[in-house]
Amino acid sequence: MSGIRQHSEHDFADHVEAVQRLRRDYARLPADAPVRLAKPTSNLFRFRESAATARLDVSAFTSVLSVDPAERVAEVGGMTTYEDLVAATLPHGLMPLVVPQLRTITLGGAVTGLGIESSSFRNGLPHESVREIEILTGAGETVVARPDNEHRELFYGFPNSYGTLGYSLRLRIELEPVKPYVHLRHLRFGDAKEAMDAFGRICADAEHEGRRVDFVDGVAFGPDELYLTLATFVDRAPWTSDYTGTDIYYTSIPRYAGTGPGDYLTVHDYLWRWDTDWFWCSGAFGLRNPTVRRVWPRSLKRSDVYRKLVALDRRTDFSRLLNLYRGRPQQEPVIQDIEVGVERGAEFLDFFHSEIGMSPVWMCPLRLRETARPAEGQSHVWPLYPLEQDRLYINFGFWGMVPMRPGQRRAHHNRLVEEEVARLGGHKSLYSDAFYAEDEFWRLYNGEGYRRLKHAYDPDGRLLDLYAKCVGNR
């Protein structure tokens, strides 16, 4: 047991005590007020008007309880950030199978709200590496859900439920070994069809030009400038780049594309390569300006800092009023992640460049893990987000502002995206605003299966339902 990083039985005893305390706190909350978690960070982009809510303190569930290098598993509090989880696992030469791009995404949030990253073409989504979840249900009970016990249906139905069935308090997850460094190769393509074909080939073989590929993602800077980034674990690196200071990761992609040596990062810096500039969204705060970048403290080049600034802008209406004062068109925030089958990816990009006109666009391939198979009588493994087995999808992420024209309907561009994704048989993540009609929403997100779980684990409706939370924005 000496090889196990174990916060001992004492920490697990503290966890049990915290669970009991949370159940008492939950029972005391007013039954007629929406429940919100009192936590310092959020990566949702459904900004709500302030309203009377009951806050549930979950600060006791923010730590890594244990890491077992021999079994390659970790026991983790549901509100633990991936930043803290990675800090606990890397010293053992291990990482979670999928590490979402932003440091303050929590493990529980990535499971109940879905997460993705460049290992998803071989490891699926974060919930697929979960072995068991301890959940505080809407009924105020705590249950341990596993694929093989009486709460099996909740285990498989928890992903994409966004805290409307309950809250994860502890998760047991799989880990995988890492090497100290990651070697990056950036491949340029002149049109979307070529890039999608390359995604299909490379992800099927997990190699390119005879070399293993451990991570795959990409960026579309425009209709005729797309890059796939292939990354491979390596034991040694002739140098390592640093994108936490004056250099910017995404601007390095065209610079290194096609060059012989490629680029190298430590595994730690690779996992957080997108967080420093919130992909490219830090440009809205002037961080592409070298002068601003030099004086902006390194410790504040983080996605959670930028999100707080966006939240402040939404509360104060500063940007809208400034555009009005300057006589500029009003802008619509288009902050979405969607995925379509790789065979429809070029169609989506053609639509997006023509109708939305925003760039860059992040591209990330994903496929359900081979170990995941639907239960008897079920058509999908994860019923609330029905991805097809043995099919490669491409996730497209785009986050920014689009000018509005007079006479356009409310949320015009967001609705166009939703309609096109539905036409292409794809899916949309629900961390941001959604505008579906209720009947369409439940058709897309398995209303029948959801209502069955809701009745079983939140029969009195203490928690909002999925439509009210994600579309009604309550």
What pLDDT score does 386 carry?
A: 86
What pLDDT score does 408 carry?
A: 87
The 10 Å Cβ neighbour count of residue 401 is 16
12-26, 141-155, 318-332: segment of lowest average pLDDT: 318-332
Q: Distances from the Cα of 41 to the Cαs of 88, 168, 222, in angstroms? A: 20, 16, 32
DSSP state of 49: P
What pLDDT score does 2 carry?
A: 37
- For the segment 291-299, the average pLDDT, to the nearest whole number, is 92
Whether residue 50 is predicted with pLDDT greater than 60 in this model: the reply is no
Whether residue 1 is predicted with pLDDT greater than 50 in this model: the reply is no
50-59, 283-292, 355-364: segment of lowest average pLDDT: 50-59
Coil vs helix vs strand at 254: helix
Whether residue 12 is predicted with pLDDT greater than 70 in this model: the reply is yes
**Residue 91 contacts residue 120 (beta carbons within 8 Å):** no
The CA distance from 50 to 474, in Å, is 10
Domains of the chain and CATH, by start: 5-177 (3.30.465.10), 181-273 (no CATH)
Contacts 24+ apart (CB under 8 A), 20-24: 21/60, 22/56, 22/57, 22/58, 22/60, 22/61, 22/136, 22/169, 23/136, 23/140, 23/141, 23/142
What pLDDT score does 427 carry?
A: 92
- For the segment 431-449, the average pLDDT, to the nearest whole number, is 92
Q: Specify the higher pLDDT residue, 434 or 12.
A: 434
Q: Among residues of the chain, what percentage have pLDDT more than 90?
A: 72
- For the segment 192-202, the average pLDDT, to the nearest whole number, is 98
Q: What is the pLDDT of residues 210-250, one digit of tens each?
A: 999 999 999 999 999 999 999 999 999 999 999 999 999 99
The CA distance from 162 to 122, in Å, is 24
Q: Among residues of the chain, what percentage have pLDDT more than 70?
A: 89
The 10 Å Cβ neighbour count of residue 460 is 9
- For the segment 365-394, the average pLDDT, to the nearest whole number, is 81
Give the H or E element holding residue 400. Answer: strand 393-403
Coil vs helix vs strand at 57: strand
What pLDDT score does 308 carry?
A: 83
Whether residue 435 is predicted with pLDDT greater than 70 in this model: the reply is yes
69-78, 99-108, 323-332: segment of lowest average pLDDT: 323-332
Half-sphere exposure of 459 (CA within 13 A, CB side): 2
The CA distance from 185 to 196, in Å, is 17
What pLDDT score does 233 carry?
A: 98
What pLDDT score does 330 carry?
A: 80
How many residues are listed for the chain in this entry? Answer: 474
Residue 126 structure tokens: 């974060």
DSSP state of 168: E
What pLDDT score does 319 carry?
A: 65
- For the segment 168-196, the average pLDDT, to the nearest whole number, is 97
Whether residue 431 is predicted with pLDDT greater than 70 in this model: the reply is yes
Backbone Cα Rg of the chain: 22
CA angle 417, 421, 422 (to 5 degrees): 120
- For the segment 412-420, the average pLDDT, to the nearest whole number, is 95
- Residue 284, amino acid: A
**pLDDT band (50, 70, 90) for residue 259:** confident
What pLDDT score does 293 carry?
A: 93
Q: Specify the higher pLDDT residue, 293 or 370.
A: 293
If you average pLDDT over every residue of the chain, what do you get? 89
Q: What DSSP string runs through 14-38?
A: HHHHHHHHHHHHHHHS-TTS-EEEE
Whether residue 124 is predicted with pLDDT greater than 80 in this model: the reply is yes
Q: Specify the higher pLDDT residue, 10 or 462.
A: 462
Dihedral of CA atoms 378, 380, 381, 383 in degrees, nearest 10, equals: -90
- For the segment 101-122, the average pLDDT, to the nearest whole number, is 94
Q: Specify the higher pLDDT residue, 457 or 389.
A: 457
